[in-house]
Amino acid sequence: MDDRFSDSQPAELSFQRDLSGDCRQLISMRWGVGSLVLIATAFAEIVLEVNLPVIGLVATGLAILGMNTYLTLITRPLSDLPGPQRRRRARQLVIIQILFDWVAMFVALHFTGGITSPALPFILVHGVVVAILLSSWMPYAYLALTIAILTILSLLERSGAIPHWYVIPALPLYLHRRPLFIAAQLSFIAITSSVVVYLTAAIMNRLIERERRVTTLLHTANTVSSIFSLSEVLDRLARGAAHALNVRAASIRLLDETGDNLNLAAAYGLSQNYVDKGPVDATGSQFSGEVLEGHPVIIDEVETDSRLQYQQQIAEEGIRSILAVPITGRGKPVGILRVYSDQPHRFSDDDADFIMAIASQGAIAVENAIAYETLYQSDSDRAQFVRMVTHELRSPVGGAQSLLRTLLRGMAGDLTEQQQDLLGRLEVRLDLLLDLINDLLALAESKTVGQREPLKRIPLQPVLGDVIKSMQVEADSKKVSLAYDAPFEIFAVLATEEGLVRVFRNLIGNAIKYTPSGGSVTVRVVERPSGAVISVADTGIGIPKEEISLLWNDFFRASNARRSKVSGTGLGLSIVKQLIDHFGGSVSVHSIEGEGTTFKVTLQIASPADEAA
Amino acid sequence: MATILIIDDDPDMILAARLCMESAGHEVIEAADGSEGLEKIKEQRPDLIILDVMMDSTTEGFQFAIKLRSPDPTSPYAQYADIPIIMLTAIHSTTSLRFGPDEDYLPVDAFVEKPFDPDQLIAQVDELLNR
């Protein structure tokens, strides 16, 4: 356990072990130990008829069981705590238990004969537990202290300062006073427990190291798949690599377009001064050159290795050894991942394999970023195309339409009735063509991901009021009454103003278009828990039931709409749907053919907090 | 009878607007871009300007209007700042921006959507001239 990885680290990189499971395991084991003390005492007293300090041993056994009951009670709420807090509390509990067991162990040892106690091997067991649960130096400190206390106990019993209990009758009297026996016992215990603790700690260290690496790999894989920003992914990979190997620093350098320079893309744990030292020459530096050929390279001693381009700066930074691995994408090297230690000879081949795995995640991130860049580029190419169409396709039609209208109004001389009729038809056709171009552009825009405008807080009623005012002329000329009913209190919704205008121009325009003279269109705003609901209801031709589900498709027009003389492109509702999806709202339709149609749009009501966002 | 300056890079658009204006009894002068427009303004001082929003660039019309209506009294165009401007635009329905006459942002007096309706354009011109 290394305290450098405490809870101040971001949660995903915290390697603080969770000991709450061990806590519970210790408690369940202790039930056995407490019971064993009681049973063994009873057995020795009744069956073997050994003269034991029954009261002392029973008290010890009961104390163990009592403590365990208390521990069970305070450990139970552990799983309800949040991660970092739980880990801290579990660690405290583990230390409390170890200390308690330690004291109980010495009491039991004393009551069972001190240096002659048959329970002495329990020191080994406890040593193993401590080596498993505590970090590197702590088991050894514990061990030294244990031997010291055992020595003191033996000497006190030998001198008669405290009583000695004769537990095994077969042993020679005063065995516990023989210096040679005491020395032999103590050294045997010291040596065996040291070996046991050392082996256990080594296995534990390796396990923790493995766990740390597996966790890091998992996190980096997650990071790579969930974050789009290349620099952020690389930052996290560098940090993850340094944390996983438990070393000071890490950096990622990527080859530039020329392939000659390695530019810094991410750094962790390095001074600004060092980071600013400039690009690494990919072809000139022997060290980087070797790495870019595709092999991990370990520099065991910075000061004596001539392969480094910035040897002096690296030494000044306090770095003693370096491990560097290539980042390879599509068979080609794209960069280098390095980890730095302030100790010489810090890195092993095992470390190299692990860092290679991290680097392959880096390669994926780089490739993702390039793919995203390409996607974004093609997106903006599309937007460019849309703009081109705006001007190039629409202006000639607009020009033609303007000329035609001046002709039609007789501004270039009088027209015969037939000419008037033909030009009128032409005007209708050109209008339809313009509508189509405009709708296609709107659709292309609403489907272009990168071009999407961010949502804002838009006051609903004023925008809606403006739209209705602007549609009044159209309604009047068709003799359709247009009514608007909204609460006095103004809601702000999450949308774009242009998009909102387009949605309601489309819906209200359709309602007017497909409602015969004498009918009515009613726009109503109500507040519901789900948001602001805007309904546009007409008394028009309606939509055939079986066609309602097709309504939102590009270019779809209901069969009765096609039969009517009303022109349309079939793109309006598709645009409406796209925009409302973008706003995070919903739209539904209810219609009875021949009676009318009601569209209901639900939009999220924006809180003032959304303004800042 | 007034003098109307039409600034547009589309000759058909100019012709259509010219026919409209002439049928309403106005005299028309033409310019194909913003700089020619500014010259014509100095030479002939029109009573009203019909301005296309996009010419060479998507914003040339805006820049022209902003230059002409500069609040700076030492601007070479200060004496022309009160000439009414009608902006012809198709942009209203296609880009994600929604333009409206706004003194700070876009100093024009009215918008007419392109392709224009001749009667509407004439009515708008008359309204601004009689103001």
Model confidence pLDDT, tens digit, residues A176-235: 888 899 999 999 999 999 999 999 988 988 888 888 888 888 888 887 777 767 888 888
| Residues B23, A434: C-beta atoms closer than 8 Å | no
Q: Looking at chain B, which residue has its C-alpha nearest residue A454?
A: B96
Helix (H) or strand (E) holding B33: none
Alpha carbon of A83: minimum distance to chain B alpha carbons (Å): 47
pLDDT at A6 (0 to 100) = 35
Structure tokens at A214: 């597996």
pLDDT at B22 (0 to 100) = 92
Class of domain A456-612: alpha beta
Peptide bond connecting B115 to the previous residue in cis, omega within 30 degrees of 0: yes
A398: which chain B residues are within 8 Å (Cβ-Cβ)?
10, 13, 90, 114-115
pLDDT at A279 (0 to 100) = 77
Alpha carbon of A442: minimum distance to chain B alpha carbons (Å): 6
pLDDT at A155 (0 to 100) = 92
Phi, psi (5° rounding) for residue B31? -145, 140
The yes-or-no verdict on residue A80 having pLDDT over 50 is yes
If interface means Cβ-Cβ distance under 8 Å, which residues of chain A face chain B? 387, 390-391, 394-403, 405-406, 409-412, 434, 438, 441-442, 445, 451, 453, 496-499, 501
B101: which chain A residues are within 8 Å (Cβ-Cβ)?
none
The yes-or-no verdict on residue B104 having pLDDT over 60 is no
Spatial distance between the Cα atoms of B79 and B85, rounded to a whole number of angstroms? 14
How much is the average pLDDT of A156-166?
87
CATH number for the domain running over B3-129: 3.40.50.2300
- Return the domain boundaries, chain A: 11-219, 229-372, 375-447, 456-612
- Its pTM stands at 0.49
How much is the average pLDDT of A146-166?
90
Cβ-Cβ contacts under 8 Å for A90 (sequence gap 6 or more):
A18, A19, A20, A22, A23, A78
DSSP 8-state class, residue A558: -
Least confident of A41-55, A294-308, A366-380, B74-88: A366-380
Structure tokens at B17: 């607007």
pLDDT at A167 (0 to 100) = 79
B115 at A interface, C-beta within 8 A = yes
Greater confidence, A171 or B97?
Answer: A171
B93: which chain A residues are within 8 Å (Cβ-Cβ)?
438, 442
pLDDT at B55 (0 to 100) = 64
How much is the average pLDDT of A368-388?
76
Q: H helices within A50-82, ranges in order?
A: 54-75
- Return the domain boundaries, chain B: 3-129
Q: Which of residues 31-90 of B touch A (CB under 8 A)?
A: 54, 58, 90
How much is the average pLDDT of A432-442?
82
Over the stretch A26-35, which tens digit does the pLDDT of each residue have? Answer: 888 899 989 9
Q: Residue A11: which pLDDT band, with cuts at 50, 70 and 90?
A: very low
Amino acid at position A494, single letter: L
Q: Looking at chain B, which residue has its C-alpha nearest residue A398?
A: B115
pLDDT at A610 (0 to 100) = 60
B102 at A interface, C-beta within 8 A = no
Cβ-Cβ contacts under 8 Å for B65 (sequence gap 6 or more):
B51, B85, B87, B106, B107, B108
Task: Please tell me which of the candidates B12, B90, B114 has its beta carbon nearest to residue A403.
Answer: B12
- CA dihedral (B46, B49, B52, B55) positive or negative: positive
Closest CA to A249 of A323, A357, A341, A336: A341
Mutant choice from B57, B88, B98, B112 vs A, greatest count of A C-beta within 10 A: B98
pLDDT at A14 (0 to 100) = 44
Spatial distance between the Cα atoms of A533 and A428, rounded to a whole number of angstroms? 35
Alpha carbon of B107: minimum distance to chain A alpha carbons (Å): 21
Over the stretch A455-479, which tens digit does the pLDDT of each residue have? Answer: 888 899 988 998 998 889 889 989 9
B17: which chain A residues are within 8 Å (Cβ-Cβ)?
402
Alpha carbon of A89: minimum distance to chain B alpha carbons (Å): 56
Spatial distance between the Cα atoms of A346 and A299, rounded to a whole number of angstroms? 9
Over the stretch A96-117, which tens digit does the pLDDT of each residue have? Answer: 888 999 999 999 999 888 888 8
How much is the average pLDDT of A158-184?
85
Q: Residue B105: which pLDDT band, with cuts at 50, 70 and 90?
A: low
Q: Residue B56: which pLDDT band, with cuts at 50, 70 and 90?
A: low
How much is the average pLDDT of A149-174?
86
The yes-or-no verdict on residue A10 having pLDDT over 50 is no
Over the stretch A344-373, which tens digit does the pLDDT of each residue have? Answer: 988 988 889 889 888 888 888 888 877 887
Alpha carbon of A405: minimum distance to chain B alpha carbons (Å): 7
The yes-or-no verdict on residue B129 having pLDDT over 50 is yes
Q: How many CA atoms lie within 13 A of A123 on its CB side?
A: 29
Mean of the per-residue pLDDT values of chain A: 85
Spatial distance between the Cα atoms of A196 and A480, rounded to a whole number of angstroms? 94
How much is the average pLDDT of A514-523?
94
Amino acid at position A602, single letter: T
Greater confidence, A482 or A284?
Answer: A482
How much is the average pLDDT of A162-167?
84
Alpha carbon of A439: minimum distance to chain B alpha carbons (Å): 9
pLDDT at A609 (0 to 100) = 63
CATH 3.30.450.40 fits A229-372, yes or no: yes
The yes-or-no verdict on residue B112 having pLDDT over 90 is no
The yes-or-no verdict on residue B59 having pLDDT over 70 is no
The yes-or-no verdict on residue B38 having pLDDT over 50 is yes
| Residues A398, B90: C-beta atoms closer than 8 Å | yes
Q: Looking at chain B, which residue has its C-alpha nearest residue A446?
A: B96
Alpha carbon of A266: minimum distance to chain B alpha carbons (Å): 37
Helix (H) or strand (E) holding A492: strand A492-495
Greater confidence, A306 or A41?
Answer: A41
The yes-or-no verdict on residue B25 having pLDDT over 60 is yes
Q: Beta strands A456-459 and A280-281: pairing type?
A: unpaired
A453: which chain B residues are within 8 Å (Cβ-Cβ)?
96
Q: Is the ipTM of this complex over 0.90?
A: no
Q: Residue B29: which pLDDT band, with cuts at 50, 70 and 90?
A: very high
Q: Looking at chain A, which residue has its C-alpha nearest residue B117?
A: A405
| Residues B12, A402: C-beta atoms closer than 8 Å | yes
